[in-house]
Structure 1
Amino acid sequence: MPKINLFTKIVLIFVVMLLPIMGLYFFSNRTSTEVLRDELNDSNANRLLFFQNQVNVNIESISLWPNLLIHDPDISDLRDTFESPGPSLTLDMITLINRIQRKLSIQENSSNWQSSLYIYSPILNRVVSSNAVKAYDDAELKRRMKQGWQVQGDGKGQYIFSMFSVAPFSSFNRPQESNLIIEVRFGSRNIVDMLDKFKSDGRRNPFFYKKDTGVIYNSSANRAVAEELVVQLEEEHAMDVVNQTVKLNGVNYLVNTQHSDTTEWYLIDYIPLSDVIGPIVQTNRMFYFTVGSLLLMSFVLAYVLYAQVQSPLKQLVGSFQKLKYEDYSVRLKPKGNNEFSFVFMRFNSMVVQIQELFEKVYLEQIHVREARLKQLQSQINPHFFYNCFSFISSMAKMKNHEAVVAMSQNLSSYYRYTTRQERDFVSLSDELDFVGSYLEIQKLRRNRLDFTVELPPRLRKIEIPPLVIQPLVENAVLHGIEEKSGEGIIQIGVSEEEGWFRIVVEDNGKGLNEEGRINLARELEEPMSEKTGCGLWNVNQRLQLRYGEGAGIEIGPSELGGLRVVLNWRHQSSNNQEKEEPA
């Protein structure tokens, strides 16, 4: 299974976090939209019903006027007139008609609607209105007389509503036989004014519609949309559906209808659905924009974390893997000034130190091998063997058993130490015991040699690299004591001060003048040549590689008259060196 990097993980976390939020928002938004649509439909239906009732109340109020007027005394007198006055009206009749006209005017002004009342008298063959008295056409009147409210166009885009009342009612279909006919009229302008007031309350576009009659629009109606809406509702037989959504030319409309039992007209109101859910759509867009922005920010954040965290970590892990397989040339390139730059610099410094340490250890191991090889070579030196065995042979012939035993024991200790030396560190006491065995051998061969070793008890357990003291002692014997007649003295002392250890080897031998000592010190710091002694140079290099700056060999004159050689190194806890407390 492929590994998922940090960038992908962070993006997936953000997506997983946002998906439930988006799902809940989508569900709640859809529910809210449906609830809002239902509530809006109910509200519109109630408002339409209320408005329809207002129109019906006005119409029904006007429709009651004929019944009220028919019982008026003056109008009753006109109704009960059965003799025709001829072409001219009598004074009494004129007075009666004047009173009737005033009452008609009062009745017309009792309503907010502009309406008209007409009283037809078949006996007088005249029609009386609030402002005129004139003859009328019986045939035209008979043609217009029908039950209920009648609607006719006026040729100017308006409609005239009229209703007739006859006394007696049985003569409705025979107007020439009736005593009195009352007509009430009002124009559709009254309804238009009410539609305008109703529309001013919001973004509605109400209008009235009656099949085979026409449409009454409000003053600012979009007639093209209204006509298309009427056609579609008729085609779908959806005129009686109270609440519905209709799509016209790609635009959805919320449509509400109310039917009037009084006038048989439909009150239709429509509003673009976008106007209703526009704020919701805008909110949705803002939400989705916010979610998109958050997702984009999460991508940016994930990339920044990937570039600033995972990528450096991958480089660091990869570099450690290379380091694991001993590729010490690996280096990390710091970028910027952040924590990883600091870690990269420390890593590079660590690799450099490890590389230098390995080089030092490697060189030290080489020097140790060279020292051991040199020691083994000196051990198998035929002159050394010859002298030792010659001494044993001579002492045996002289029956000096103590000398034979002493030489054999010291020679055995000497070879045991050198041939079995496999450790990187030995205790100072073991190293000095080995040096003591070597000096005892030389002392047995040369009666004039004497030596002393001073080792404080607290320093006996101090660990040092093996074979670093014997080369100094060997040089003192071979190049100092043997080249000078008389008694030879070698002194070895060990001390410690402020963390620095010192091993001093002094002799009273031939020694070196100041120029010789300077040349020898310089040769110890230079690469080894044929002129440079292998033993001293090897010891100096090993101490410097092991203990660093300040460690090595110092050469100076001895108070005994010969040469004074000092080994210096600083105490290091990493070397597991411990001081033995005095007993």
Structure 2
Amino acid sequence: MVLRQSAAYVKKKMGPRYSLFAKMNILILVLFIPIIILFTYSNEIATNTISKELRGSNMKQLSFLSSQIDSRINQTIDFVITFSKDPNVEKFNGLNIWDDLYDRMQTRYVVQEKMMLQSGITNIWPVTYTVYSQQNKEAISNSKDTIKYDEAYLNDNMTGAWTYGDGRESVPDDQQSFHWFYTDSLGHQGALKGSNLVVQASFGHENIENMLDTYKAGGQGDPIFYRQGEAPILNRSASKELASELVAFLDGRQLDGTEQEVVRLGIRAIW
């Protein structure tokens, strides 16, 4: 009897306190729910904003890299056009009726020296220049290899545009070079007329690698140079496994214009 009375007394005393404690917990929970919702929403907004800023920054950096490559190529084009009008270059393609052996050697030396100086201005973008005299059937170049006059080779490559490769067989898994052939025949860049002067500009994939390495050194990502149907040009520290996965993905896409997409390769996300 005493025990029952004691239990009833405890319930009577604890009842209001327990009810107040429960109400406080419920109130705290109710207050926390909108805070959690607001925090989740704010975090999502912040994540999306940061992601958008990163994509925008990456696009600007890639556009800048592309403009740098275009600038180097345009500088090469400007030099070739100007160089083709150099008096010594024109003399190399002339009849040279009154020139003796020393004069011809001196002309070749001056032309070759100018090509070597131009190529050595920037170590990051070396270019091989070759001057062909269709009239004299001769060639002169700043290349380490001996270049011989080959009219069939010139006819095959007189497209008036930059090409990747020059039609010659290459070693398997070896990267091609970029080539541009310019002739002094006004308005006829796609054909030879019998007495043309032709200037060839060529640069290897190493030039692109140098630009990609510089880009990556700035902490801007892991860039590759891709063209559908061709082996990609990678920066020198790129993962070949991830690059192969990315190339396989890109080969299956119809690329048109400029676009951005996050692609997950292995355990990494590529922007």
TM-score, structure 1 as length reference: 0.39
Q: Secondary structure of 1:164's match?
A: strand
Match of 2:117 in 1: 106
One-letter amino acid of the counterpart of residue 126, structure 1: E
Distance 2:142 2:85 in 1: 18
Out of 19, 22, 26, the residue aligned to residue 12 of structure 1 is 26
Q: Secondary structure of 2:59's match?
A: helix
Out of 37, 46, 55, the residue aligned to residue 23 of structure 1 is 37
Out of 206, 214, 226, the residue aligned to residue 243 of structure 2 is 226
Q: Secondary structure of 1:127's match?
A: strand
CA shift at 1:203, angstroms? 5.6
Q: CA RMSD in A?
A: 2.7
> Does residue 126 of the first structure (1) align with residue 151 of the second (2)?
no
Q: Secondary structure of 2:129's match?
A: strand
**For the Cα contact (< 8 Å) 2:161–2:181, is it kept in 1?**
yes
> Does residue 137 of the first structure (1) align with residue 154 of the second (2)?
no
**For the Cα contact (< 8 Å) 1:168–1:178, is it kept in 2?**
no
Q: Secondary structure of 1:45's match?
A: helix
Match of 1:45 in 2: 59
Match of 2:48 in 1: 34
One-letter amino acid of the counterpart of residue 190, structure 1: N
CA shift at 1:15, angstroms? 2.0
Change (3 A) 1:203 1:47: closer
**For the Cα contact (< 8 Å) 1:199–1:205, is it kept in 2?**
yes
Change (3 A) 1:238 1:21: farther
CA shift at 1:66, angstroms? 1.4
CA shift at 1:131, angstroms? 6.2
> Does residue 77 of the first structure (1) align with residue 91 of the second (2)?
yes
CA shift at 1:225, angstroms? 2.2
Out of 192, 217, 237, the residue aligned to residue 209 of structure 2 is 192
Distance 2:187 2:55 in 1: 46
**For the Cα contact (< 8 Å) 1:167–1:178, is it kept in 2?**
no
Match of 2:77 in 1: 63
**For the Cα contact (< 8 Å) 2:163–2:179, is it kept in 1?**
yes
One-letter amino acid of the counterpart of residue 52, structure 1: S
CA deviations over 1:469-490 (Å, ceiling 9, x no partner): xxxxxxxxxxxxxxxxxxxxxx
Match of 1:335 in 2: none
Distance 2:120 2:265 in 1: 43
Structure 2 spans left out of the alignment, 5+ residues: 1-15
CA shift at 1:120, angstroms? 0.7
**For the Cα contact (< 8 Å) 2:246–2:265, is it kept in 1?**
yes
Change (3 A) 1:220 1:118: same
Distance 2:107 2:258 in 1: 52
> Does residue 210 of the first structure (1) align with residue 227 of the second (2)?
yes
Out of 179, 182, 201, the residue aligned to residue 196 of structure 2 is 179
Match of 1:253 in 2: 269
**For the Cα contact (< 8 Å) 1:80–1:179, is it kept in 2?**
no
Distance 2:176 2:35 in 1: 57
Q: Secondary structure of 1:34's match?
A: helix
Q: Secondary structure of 2:236's match?
A: coil
**For the Cα contact (< 8 Å) 1:172–1:178, is it kept in 2?**
no
**For the Cα contact (< 8 Å) 1:243–1:254, is it kept in 2?**
no
> Does residue 146 of the first structure (1) align with residue 159 of the second (2)?
yes
**For the Cα contact (< 8 Å) 2:76–2:201, is it kept in 1?**
yes
One-letter amino acid of the counterpart of residue 135, structure 1: K
Alignment of structure 1 residues 134-533 onto 2, 5 Å = 134-152=147-165, 155=171, 157-175=174-192, 177-202=194-219, 204-238=221-255, 240-248=257-265, 253-255=269-271
Q: Secondary structure of 2:222's match?
A: coil
CA shift at 1:242, angstroms? 2.6
CA shift at 1:134, angstroms? 4.9
Change (3 A) 1:158 1:166: same
One-letter amino acid of the counterpart of residue 164, structure 2: V
Distance 1:159 1:201 in 2: 27
> Does residue 92 of the first structure (1) align with residue 103 of the second (2)?
yes
Distance 1:195 1:95 in 2: 40
- The structure having more radius of gyration, on CA atoms, is 1
Aligned length: 248
CA deviations over 1:168-189 (Å, ceiling 9, x no partner): 1455444362421100111111
Instruction: Name the stretch that deviates more: 38-47 or 135-144.
Output: 135-144
Change (3 A) 1:16 1:241: farther
Change (3 A) 1:240 1:122: same
Match of 2:7 in 1: none
Q: Secondary structure of 1:177's match?
A: coil
One-letter amino acid of the counterpart of residue 103, structure 1: K
**For the Cα contact (< 8 Å) 1:161–1:187, is it kept in 2?**
yes
Q: Secondary structure of 2:82's match?
A: helix
One-letter amino acid of the counterpart of residue 254, structure 2: H
CA deviations over 1:288-309 (Å, ceiling 9, x no partner): xxxxxxxxxxxxxxxxxxxxxx
Distance 2:207 2:19 in 1: 76
TM-score, structure 2 as length reference: 0.80
Change (3 A) 1:98 1:21: same
CA deviations over 1:255-293 (Å, ceiling 9, x no partner): 2xxxxxxxxxxxxxxxxxxxxxxxxxxxxxxxxxxxxxx
**For the Cα contact (< 8 Å) 2:80–2:182, is it kept in 1?**
yes
One-letter amino acid of the counterpart of residue 35, structure 2: I
Percent identity between the aligned chains? 26
CA shift at 1:139, angstroms? 1.8
- Greater strand share, structure number: 1
